[in-house]
Chain A
Amino acid sequence: MAGKDKVYKCLNPVGIQPPVKTSPLAPRPGNLDGKTVHLSICGEADIWVPLEKKLKADYPNTNWSVKKRYHIVPMELSEEEKKTTDAVILGVCW
């Protein structure tokens, strides 16, 4: 076979991706009256300062809890806190 026609097997540089078990979303409550909603604030104070005020003012029948951190890694709910939390809003990050 001429050199330029020689066929080579060429290897894959990509790493090994572990399999991931995918889950459905948690069921949604019909409304938030009487529920506890947790605000997980990660930076972007210029959005969150008015957003937190508006949520609390516009939805007074909802219990609002808050944890703040100046970082993309949020301050997490403890196991005890999760027992009484009905929903979480987290932002602004990925």
Chain B
Amino acid sequence: MPYLAGLEKEGIPTVLINFGEETGKVEHDSTLYGVPKLRHIVASRNSVGGVTEAEILVKPVLEALTRPLSDEEKESGIWEPHEPRILFEGTLPEAEEFYNQTENIPGILNAPFSKYTDGLPVVIPTEERVAEMLKGTSHKPDEIITLQRDMVMDGFGPVESTTTRKKGDVVNFMPMYRTATVEQVAVNAVMAGCKPEYFPVVLAIAESGGGTGDGRGGGGGFIVSGPIYKEIGMNVTNSIFGPGNPANKTIGRVGSLLWRNLGGYKETVTTITTLGSPVTNGGFIFAEYTEGLPEGWKGLNEEMGFREDESIIMTGAMGMGEWGIGQSNAPGVYRSLQRTGHGAIARFLDVKGIPGPHNYLEYLAKDAWATRDGGFTLVMPPQIAQDLCDYGFKTKDSIYEWIWKKSFEPVSKFRMRGAQDFITNGWLGIEKTSGKPWKELPEDYMVPAGGDNPFASYNILLCNMEETACARFGGGHGQAFSIDAWR
């Protein structure tokens, strides 16, 4: 859309072909990019074969390129929506009704969609409550959210490129390219139910883009590393992903409110998503338990270039949010493997009757990439980590390398993966391990199905738990943002 808007402004007439459910977003984005009357033609996903659809499209497409402009299409002006600082004045019951109001959106079969929330009731952001929240930071209320340090951001897919951003760069919240003040972030933090002591974490989330991504961020997935988890009482033990812990639940929730209110997400109007993520589910956060790391294993903060005593959040590492890929096992089966060499995994590894340490990763990684690409994050208790260390993985990096190498397969098999037509730009791009064009590679050349590089694609985090269970979800290492910078 920005490209087409630019062409129109340069005097080159255009027409866009889009799908039906995207029309609301097309019309909305036309205004956002400064050409409100941009012409578009709707194609069908469901017509019988592409030939029929091509025959249907030709005349309307060419007509849109040649039909003289209407008076409306010749107009220019300024689009300048204004939002007041005080949104509502009234009693608390009246405010609850106001903030929890919904509207029907045609694009989602007229289902109600909240105007200011994530669909759950919110804590009303009175002036008093917001003032209290602002005590959680030394930053001024009217300060615009900006990057707190220079950063290099990696792109993705056929347009991947590296972008350098500078300390002081203003953060834009997508899909509407909005900016925000510290106070506006505080309003959303109050609504999510956060306490003032959580606010530096919330501000770091805002600095990262607030879970908005490119407009389809889904509220985001965040990992905390560093001593702040103890200061604010994040649960890093049993039920680390479950209900009950106020910090885990409310700080995670902030992502979805920032996406709604700072980013302007409104389904089928400002953004088109598919199903959303059952993992991040509108904002998701947890913290790692570094105290249980084996000797020589670094915490996430140190892996991302910070000190052990510094607190950070990491974003962008949740991949597509898949959960529970690959094998599963009962915790007791794992214990039997390592203590006495008995049980299903011992039979799988052919180590019957031999006590451990055994390489549990051989079991976890088996067929992990059968119909899925990319890496994953493992969340495990100290015992599993120690067993891996005792087996011989003296650093987390050695594990990432080992798993990544397990994912290699011949090009002939790699070509059958569902995402790669897109990621390789129709196989026109360069394969990274060889540096050669995909089209020049022999069919038996081995390439990694498990991500571009070990560190980016894999991650291991510890939780403080006795039971030997291990959780797995998509993603590796993403971008890190300092929480301390927002104290």
A6 to chain B, nearest CB (A): 7
21 A-B pairs with CB atoms under 8 Å apart are: A9-B88, A9-B126, A9-B127, A10-B89, A11-B85, A13-B261, A13-B262, A14-B83, A15-B261, A16-B184, A17-B176, A23-B34, A24-B74, A26-B7, A47-B50, A55-B58, A70-B421, A82-B7, A89-B15, A92-B17, A94-B25
- What is the minimal beta-carbon distance from B27 to any residue of chain A, in angstroms? 10
- Bound complex: CA of A82 vs CA of B77, how far in Å? 26
* Interface hit among B61-69, B285-293, B313-321, B452-460: B61-69
Return the contact of A69 from the options B32, B53, B85, B425 (Cβ within 8 A). Answer: B425
A54 / chain B contacts, CB cutoff of 8 Å: 54-55, 58
Q: Is the CB of A85 within 8 A of B261?
A: no
A residues neighboring B (CB under 8 Å): 4-32, 37, 40, 43-51, 53-55, 58-59, 68-71, 73-74, 76-77, 82, 85-94
B125:A31 contact, CB within 8 angstroms: no
**B58, A20: Cβ atoms closer than 8 Å:** no
- With a cutoff of 8 Å between Cβ atoms, the chain B residues found around residue A9 in the complex are 86, 88-89, 126-127
Which residues of the other chain, A, contact B15 by a CB distance below 8 angstroms? Answer: 87-90
Q: Is there a chain A Cβ closer than 8 Å to B183's Cβ?
A: yes
B contact residues around A86 at 8 Å (CB): 12-13
Per the bound structure, the CA–CA distance linking A49 and B54 in Å amounts to 9
Contact A15 B179 (CB under 8 A): yes
Give the distance to chain A from B116, nearest Cβ to Cβ, in Å: 6
Would A90 and B3 count as touching, CB distance under 8 A? yes
Give every chain B residue within 8 A of A87 (Cβ-Cβ): 12-15, 65
Q: How far is the CB of A57 from chain B (nearest CB, A)?
A: 10
Query: Are B65 and A21 in touch, CB under 8 angstroms?
Result: no
Q: Hey, which chain B residues are within 8 Å of A16, CB to CB?
A: 83, 178-181, 184
In the assembled complex, B221 has its CB within 8 A of some CB on chain A: no
Q: Across chains A and B, which 8 residue pairs bring their CB atoms closest together, nearest first? A: A91-B17, A15-B178, A12-B87, A15-B262, A50-B54, A51-B54, A19-B80, A46-B50
| B92 in contact with A15 (CB, 8 Å) | no
| Docked pose: A76 CA to B10 CA in angstroms | 14
| Closest chain B residue, CB of each to CB of A73 | B159
Chain B residues close to A by CB (< 8 Å): 1, 3-5, 7-19, 22, 25-26, 29, 31-39, 43, 49-51, 53-55, 57-58, 61-62, 65-69, 73-93, 95, 98-99, 116, 124-128, 130, 157-159, 173, 176-181, 183-184, 187-188, 191, 257, 261-264, 272, 421-422, 424-426, 428
Given A26-B12, A70-B426; A89-B130 close (CB under 8 Å): no
Q: When chains A and B are docked, how far (Å) is the Cα of A59 from the Cα of B394? A: 67
User: In the complex, which of the residues B54, B177, B178, B272 contacts A94, with contact meaning CB atoms closer than 8 Å?
Assistant: B272
Q: Are B17 and A32 in contact (CB under 8 A)?
A: no
**Cβ–Cβ < 8 Å partners of A18 in chain B:** 177-179
Q: Are A27 and B13 in contact (CB under 8 A)?
A: yes
Asked if residues B32 and A94 are in contact (CB atoms below 8 Å), the reply is no
Q: Are B73 and A7 in contact (CB under 8 A)?
A: no
Which of A6, A19, A20 has the most C-beta atoms of chain B within 10 angstroms of its own C-beta? A20
Decide: B126 and A28 in contact? CB cutoff 8 A. Answer: no
Give the residue of A17, A31, A85, A91 whose beta carbon is less than 8 angstroms from that of B16: A91
Contact A22 B91 (CB under 8 A): no
Q: A14-B262, A16-B178, A26-B8 are in contact. Are A47 and B91 (CB under 8 A)?
A: no
Having A11-B183, A14-B262, A47-B54, one finds 15 other A-B pairs with CB under 8 Å, namely: A7-B90, A10-B86, A13-B116, A13-B261, A22-B31, A22-B34, A24-B76, A32-B62, A40-B3, A47-B57, A55-B58, A69-B426, A86-B13, A90-B17, A92-B17
Q: Are B87 and A28 in contact, with the CB atoms below 8 A? A: no
Closest to B192 in A: A13
Chain A: CB-nearest residue to B82: A17
Question: Most chain-B CB neighbours within 10 Å: which of A14, A19, A71?
Answer: A14
Contact present for B99 and A10 (CB under 8 Å):
yes
Contact of B184 among A15, A21, A26, A68 (CB under 8 A): A15
